[in-house]
A and B are shown apart, each in its own frame.
Chain A
Amino acid sequence: MGRYFSNIVQSISTIWTGMNITLKHLFTPSITLQYPEERWEMPERARNQLFNDIDDCIGCDQCARACPVDCIYIETEKVGEDIDLGLTSKGTKKRLKVLRFDIDMSLCCYCGLCTYPCPTECLIMTPHYEASVYDRTDLLYKYAKPWEYDDLESADASKDTDKEAATAG
């Protein structure tokens, strides 16, 4: 019987202690944010959406080889010595046409391994995190701009007709 009452007394007193702690939080400022209206500052290193600056990409395929889930698809084509594809912003000479550079973000595990070996630092993970889409196929991000090589081709067409035929085919 004594135990019964001491249990009740202990329950009430320990709950009272706990409730005091909870009560204190009534007077502390809230730590949550009203998300769509307000947003957290993302740190500079935040690893979210991948982004490739295709103008700097030399198509070296190192990122695709580093990826553990193989979700980067790259197709390149060699160009002859005489065609100048220009330089990257860091001064590396581009030697390959990047015809396809797709990243399937629905497979990506956001490990960041692809960004470290990139020699021109054009593949980066950005702090952008709102990447939801309605259709899963929209998660296949296409970065390559193969049409840009068309102009190049026509400019060089007079020099090397064989090559153009090969590309068109």
Chain B
Amino acid sequence: MKISLNWLNEFVNLGGIDIRDIVSRFSLTTAEIEGYEIKKPKLDAVVVEILTCEKVATSNKLSKLTITDGKKKYQVACAAPNVRVGLKTAWANVGTKVLAGIESTGMCLGADELGMSNLHESIIELDSSAKVGAPIAEALPFICDTIIEIDNKSITNRPDLWGHYGIARELACIFDRELKPLKKTSLTDIALLPEVPVKIESDLCQSFGAVKVKNITRKVTPLEMQARLFYLDINPHGFLVDLSNYIMLEVGQPNHAYDGASSVRLSASKGLRDGEVFTTLKGQVIKADMAEEMLFIKNNGSAVALAGIMGGQESGINADTIDAVFEFATFDSGSTRKTAAGLGIRTDASARFEKSLDTNLNLLAAERMVYLLNKYDKKASPASKWSYKTTRETKPIALRVDTAYVEKFCGVKFIWKDIIKKLTALGFEPTMVFPSADALDVVVPTWRATKDVTMQADIIEEIVRTYGYDKIVPMPPRVDVEPIAQPVKKVLVNRLKDALANVHGLQEVHTYIWSDTPSKLKVINSCIKGCDYVREALGPSLLSIIAKNGQARIFEIGQVVSNGKDEHRHLGICVPSYAELASILRALFGAKFKIGEFAGVAGFHPKNNATVLVDGKAVGCIGVAVDKDVAIAEINIDGLDPTRVNGGGKTFAAPSKYQKNHLDFTFEYDGVYGDIESAFDKFKHPLNMGFRLKDVYNKSYTLEFTVGSYEKTLTAEDINDIWSKIIEFGRKNGLTLKQ
């Protein structure tokens, strides 16, 4: 939102304060300022007076003027309709040229050429008191301004800051300057005039007020008002429309004007009549069947405005309007937001109503409007009394804050007298509870009481931000020292990543959680291509990286879902060699593999795939991805023990004092080694200290058993006993000893 410094100065004298200070103090106390822009006349113009004026015969528009800048006379050709002898206007010496056969020096300027409005039909008309020869900025001081841009997002919680007066109030508080009262014309003491009938038929309308004004003859907006609107990106349209916008920008109350020539009976209600069609100013058509939950303003029963958002095509005032009815209402924030978002229409009005406005703004804005009307159009006068209905009036809120708590909460010892002064400057009414002074009673002004300030914590924010965050001295907290056990899941991930990257030489990658492969969990509102489903596996994501980079050694630890519901953490690995992949998993988890039942997913080699087992439990699969010729592992790591990663979690025992013996056996077996291994895992003998595969040749597996004892050196009988038991055990399990 843009804010004019001139406008602010009307309410709080900021004289002598550097704009950079305003920007930085406001940013530190209230809301973020995105930047500021200095406005000045586009051309180097001076005040001149027209001495002679005659029509040029060869042109139907041009006049030939003699002007003076006080020092010299010039001949100027000018097409404006309002040229006349004695008029003081703005002129810039931009050189001499010949127009329609007339030599013309410089040009007389309109408001657009000075950069202060979009209006260009006529040249500037200055007051007769303007000093000829003076720079134009002296005659029109408002042409120079500073426009501050406030970040809208940072004031979403502050309905009161959506108008200049609210910003002025903040600055008055920040810089300890006086906030001037808004000049208004009271509407409550003209009870003798008739009412404008207004009716609230839905509680989405919190309050609804109207006032009729007659004899409005002014058509052209005063230059100063034009300049202010124009600098804030609102193009001037004509006095009444401009005034309506001006009030909104000044006090933050959106409003609407209706032609008052015929009778006006306003109401606020939901929906349209059967068959009724409402067309917004911008041409959007709303039919009765889609309007059920939308709030409309109706005049004599017909919808004339989409409440709080936009007027209709025939609602408003026109160039001939002399009597007008002005509406000032408050609409439900949620409903306004829903309707506006649903239709994709965001307006200055809806932006304000969405923030929850104070119902008391209605009358204030009306009184200010009538004051300004009267100021710029002396004949205009109220033709009705203030006609007002309300269903949910904004009331001040009374809160009590515990001063000791506030100091503990902030970590600051406050001087409460200063706090009270700052709160008062913001419109709060704070009273110290005497004699104990351990609490502060605060009445929250209505413009802060709609949503923004409702509890003690909100008052604390007001106290501490106006005190100054920069004055708080950082303090280390005092806490009990306790051992911290880091969550297992996190430890597991860290250990896995370290082992994969450092021990196995794999590069970690990140891929998106979604894919275009159908799964049971759909992303329903994605604006991104390929983001249709939540993925069930990491494999396809990793393969897409291989597709981009060629052969690579990569891994990812990331989230997937199963059954369209449960989120799991998977480890995906992709390396060129299937055999290496198996050894990585063996090293990582002590994994074992089960071959034979198709374990993989689509795209896996039908033979070269296996189920991955950790402690006998299936945790995933590995396989050769046929079309990329790479090996992929997909492991669910939920529940794996982090202490066991990469050989961790071992036990240690003193080795036996007695000599150990190694016995080799070669078995013939027409199957995979895993079968032999799982069989001998079950072999029990007091002297068995474990076995390993020593060699494989043509279905002949040579196993080396270590045998020994902690109590004695083995005798030949001991060795013979275990020797024969191993052979016997092998035979029972289908393993023939090779002779």
The yes or no verdict on A and B being binding partners is no
